[in-house]
């Protein structure tokens, strides 16, 4: 279980009253998807940054399966984040962007190469292995980013509005892939404004308001 309790944080150098101090509490079981809704600027990306370890909380507890994560750097947390943008390495072709998630030195096994090829076909990008990110549309880049996260198979998936700007057919295909990852035991935190995304993926949903998660079903 992902156990997040009173995880507190505030940004320095902001006008008083403009940005709230954040304090997040929720629990999430393996295989579950929690959707976090809220208007732009309410702190959704901040929440994911704290979970992933890109931001350092001032206090509170964050644990996965009973083990505290707060001392772990981002790459040792068993989490993969799909950011809103700028997910890819611009100088690397698609296959290497995907391969980085599997083998950072890019020495890929035959099986890993086959998984990349099959994954690209599943997200509708068959044959684009050699393209650079600059040679893809925004939606195609986002699909590569999501595929990279899914190929890694991390226990926890953090998705920051990952389907924005994608057409409905593409989104449905990606929902299937995320659902499959959940069925394999991944816990997913999905930040989204989109009702269809939330209905397709979320087991539970809550809102982020005034720096807190509210209406979290099954609170600790």
Residues that bind Mg ion (CB under 5 A): 44-45
DSSP secondary structure letter of residue 182: H
Nearer to ligand ADP, 11 or 89 (CB): 11
| Complex with ligand ADP: residue 44 or 77, whichever CB lies closer | 44
For ligand ADP, give the closer residue by CB, 43 or 53.
43
Number of residues that bind ligand ADP (CB under 6 A): 11
Nearer to Mg ion, 64 or 83 (CB): 83
The item of Mg ion, ligand ADP, none sharing an interface with residue 19, based on CB under 5 to 8 Å by kind, is ligand ADP
Residue 166 near residue 141 (C-beta atoms within 8 A):
no
43 binds, among Mg ion, ligand ADP, none (CB under 5 to 8 A by kind): ligand ADP
The partner residues of 157 in beta bridges, in order of sequence, read 80, 188
| Cα separation, 140 vs 206, whole angstroms | 29
Nearer to ligand ADP, 20 or 155 (CB): 20
**Positive or negative CA dihedral for 148, 154, 158, 161?**
positive
Cα 20 to Cα 57, 136, 209, 210: the distances in Å are 14, 38, 9, 6
How many whole angstroms separate alpha carbon 212 and alpha carbon 154? 26
* Binding at 42: pick from Mg ion, ligand ADP, none (beta carbon under 5-8 Å per type): ligand ADP
Site string for ligand ADP, 13-52 (x = CB under 6 A): -x----x------------------x-xxxxxxx------
Give the C-alpha separation, 115 to 119, whole Å. 6
Binding of residue 11 to ligand ADP (CB under 6 A): yes
Binding of residue 185 to ligand ADP (CB under 6 A) = no
Measure Cα distances from 22 to 13, 25, 42, 185 in Å. 15, 10, 10, 29
Instruction: Enumerate binding residues for ligand ADP (CB under 6 A).
Output: 11, 14, 19, 38, 40-46
């Amino acid at each position: 279980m992902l156990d997040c309790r009173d995880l507190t944080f505030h940004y320095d150098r902001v006008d008083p009253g403009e940005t709230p101090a954040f304090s997040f509490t929720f629990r999430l079981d393996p295989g579950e998807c929690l959707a976090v809704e809220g208007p732009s600027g309410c702190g959704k990306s901040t929440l994911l940054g704290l979970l992933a370890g890109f931001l350092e909380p001032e206090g509170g507890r964050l644990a996965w399966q009973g083990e505290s994560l707060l001392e772990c750097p981002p790459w040792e947390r068993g989490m993969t984040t799909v950011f809103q943008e700028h997910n890819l390495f611009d100088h690397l072709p698609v296959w290497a962007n995907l391969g980085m998630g599997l083998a950072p030195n890019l020495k890929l096994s035959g099986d890993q190469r086959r998984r990349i090829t099959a994954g690209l076909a599943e997200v509708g990008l068959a044959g684009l292995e050699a393209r650079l990110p600059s040679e893809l549309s925004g939606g195609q880049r986002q699909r590569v980013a999501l595929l990279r996260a899914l190929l890694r198979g991390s226990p926890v998936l953090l998705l920051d509005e990952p389907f924005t700007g994608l057409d409905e057919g593409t989104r449905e295909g990606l929902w299937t892939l995320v659902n499959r990852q959940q069925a394999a035991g991944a816990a997913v935190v999905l930040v989204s404004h989109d009702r269809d995304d939330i209905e397709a993926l979320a087991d539970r949903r809550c809102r982020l308001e005034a720096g807190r998660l509210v209406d979290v079903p099954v609170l600790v």
